[in-house]
């Protein structure tokens, strides 16, 4: 760019400054696509400042109208109260447990989220974890790479997916996608959700323990809230039984993790496929040592294609807010 072009760009930026958006911690979409996002907005990087967070927020209190957040970055009551001009929180997550929605409602702060953008990717991982756990793909890989095949002979038998009774906990957009993928395998789908869904013919259970007692696989797809925290407890796991598998693509704290570890160690359930954990990134050492457990580092939503779509959704929501237009993917806080 020549000097005149540089001066013109600076002049335009002075006349039309980019809207300021606070980022407490960088979400993956920001890490991979900061350049594209920064073309539209000026990001205040709290994690990059030497100031304590409260002091950083106080410094920018009156200029911050929007926050860009993600699933493992809490937006607390204190953060919201320190930002009197705040009008929008955009989270790159489909879950909302990390945001104080009650304070947002009280303050009139709007929230936009990923909505159903991730549903297909998460459902793919759920089915992948299930097939892996049943057919022992990861365990078989270790058996080969550790030289055990040559020394110990044939690997142990796996189990069929077809014909399994699969219980889905939370038949929202992700749960529906999971069911859609498992039907062609010949699985029998059952579900537990807040309400019975008239759009599906799957058998409905209002009680998750009853669901577990009537299926061989339990797939966790619900959101984390006060009602679902540790809803998968000892009683549910024992109801699932010694031949039962549990798959979790929801949130780690939906399962009582210590109780699940105990059940796995004592053979009270047959195995697990887990993309989420209660104290991420820390995973209980017992889970790492078990061959009947398949682990994934909370990457169900992270594909190149979906991250690109998420960039467009984030930009669209922020542009709508700063232009006083309807958000593309608003959270209905009155519900």
Q: Which of the residues are catalytic? A: 251, 280, 298
DSSP label at residue 156: P
The tokens describing 18, both together, are 């980019």
- For residues 124 and 180, the answer to whether their CB atoms sit within 8 Å is no
Count CB neighbours of 62 within 10 A.
Answer: 10
End-to-end CA distance of the chain: 51
Residue entry with tokens 């807040």 = 194
Separation between Cα atoms, residue 219 and residue 274, nearest integer Å:
10
| HSE-up (13 A, CA, CB side) for residue 275 | 24
As a whole number of angstroms, the distance between CA 96 and CA 209 comes to 25
Give the gyration radius of the chain's Cα atoms.
Answer: 23
Q: Look up residue 267 and give its DSSP letter.
A: T
Other beta carbons within 10 Å of 48: 10
How far out from the chain centre does Cα 295 lie?
Answer: 15
Residue holding tokens 């232009």?
Answer: 323
Whose CA is closest to 129, among 121, 70, 262?
121
What DSSP element (H or E) covers 272? strand 271-274
Nearest to 30 by CA among 135, 21, 124, 227: 21
Q: What is d(CA 76, CA 200) in angstroms, rounded to the nearest whole number?
A: 37
């Amino acid at each position: 760019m020549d000097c005149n072009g540089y001066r013109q760009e600076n002049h335009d930026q002075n006349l039309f400054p980019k809207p300021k958006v606070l980022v407490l911690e960088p979400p993956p979409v920001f890490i991979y696509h900061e350049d594209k996002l920064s073309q539209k907005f000026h990001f205040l990087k709290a994690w990059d400042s030497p100031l304590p967070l409260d002091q950083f927020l106080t410094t920018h209190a009156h200029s911050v109208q929007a926050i860009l957040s993600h699933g493992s970055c809490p937006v607390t009551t204190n953060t919201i109260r320190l930002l009197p001009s705040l009008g929008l929180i955009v989270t790159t997550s489909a879950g909302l447990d990390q945001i104080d929605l009650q304070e947002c409602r009280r303050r009139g702060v709007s929230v936009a989220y990923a909505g159903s953008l991730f549903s297909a990717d998460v459902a793919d991982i759920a089915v992948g974890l299930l097939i892996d756990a049943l057919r022992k793909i990861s365990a078989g890989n270790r058996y080969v790479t550790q030289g055990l095949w040559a020394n110990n002979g044939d690997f142990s038998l796996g189990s069929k997916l077809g014909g399994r009774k699969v219980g889905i906990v939370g038949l929202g957009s992700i749960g529906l996608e999971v069911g859609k993928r498992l039907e062609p395998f010949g699985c029998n789908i059952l579900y537990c959700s807040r309400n019975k869904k008239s759009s599906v013919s799957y058998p409905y259970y209002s009680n998750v323990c009853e669901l577990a007692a009537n299926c061989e696989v339990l797939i966790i797809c619900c959101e984390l809230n006060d009602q679902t925290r540790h809803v998968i407890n000892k009683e549910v796991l024992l109801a699932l039984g010694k031949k039962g598998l549990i798959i979790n693509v929801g949130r780690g704290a939906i399962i009582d993790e210590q109780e699940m570890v105990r059940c796995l160690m004592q053979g009270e359930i047959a195995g697990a496929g887990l993309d989420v954990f209660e104290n991420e990134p820390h995973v209980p050492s017992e889970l790492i040592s078990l061959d009947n457990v398949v682990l994934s580092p909370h990457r169900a939503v992270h594909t190149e294609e979906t991250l690109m779509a998420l960039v467009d959704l984030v930009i669209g929501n922020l542009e709508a807010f700063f232009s006083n237009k309807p958000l593309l993917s608003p959270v209905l806080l009155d519900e």
